[in-house]
Amino acid sequence: MDPINVATPDQQPVYFAADLGQQAPALAALARLAADHPHLPPGYIVVSETTPRQVDVMLDTPGMIEPWREALGAAPETVDQKPFRSTDFMLICQDVVGGITWQVWASFSPSESPEPQPAESGAGSR
């Protein structure tokens, strides 16, 4: 069964999974990443029915993004700083890896440093 395509008010398509099987590629990619890089910092991870080929990872601090970026093999240019809520910011790594969209991010206040910290030994090595 194909995903259901529904246009949002601004005409951006949103794909709803018809069943858990349509989320399987994202879940399998996440499982492979966990098996290959078990020491990555933990995060709040979402694979949603509205974006079945996307993995969203919310981390505690911006410094946790770099090991994830390296483990995904994403280029440094995929990391960006954006406004978040009314007074905060987010550091986000967005990339498509193996057909799965990854969004790995952490929020921070203006008084905190948004700079990612170097990966710990072995955390992001391939």
Residue found under tokens 């005409």: 11
pLDDT at 121: 42
The answer to whether 103 and 55 have CB atoms below 8 angstroms apart is yes
Would residue 58 count as lying in a domain?
yes
Would residue 116 count as lying in a domain?
no
Separation CA 24–CA 55 (nearest Å) = 11
Separation CA 52–CA 46 (nearest Å) = 10
pLDDT at 83: 78
- The domain tally of the chain equals 1
Would residue 36 count as lying in a domain?
yes
Separation CA 9–CA 3 (nearest Å) = 19
Whole-prediction pTM value? 0.76
Would residue 71 count as lying in a domain?
yes
Would residue 9 count as lying in a domain?
no
Would residue 79 count as lying in a domain?
yes
Task: Print pLDDT tens along the chain (126 aa).
Answer: 444 444 445 555 557 888 999 999 999 999 999 999 999 999 999 999 999 999 999 999 999 999 999 999 999 999 988 878 777 888 899 999 999 999 999 988 877 655 554 444 444 443
Residue 79: strand pairing partners: 93
pLDDT at 126: 37
Would residue 51 count as lying in a domain?
yes
| Boundaries of domain holding 100 | 14-108
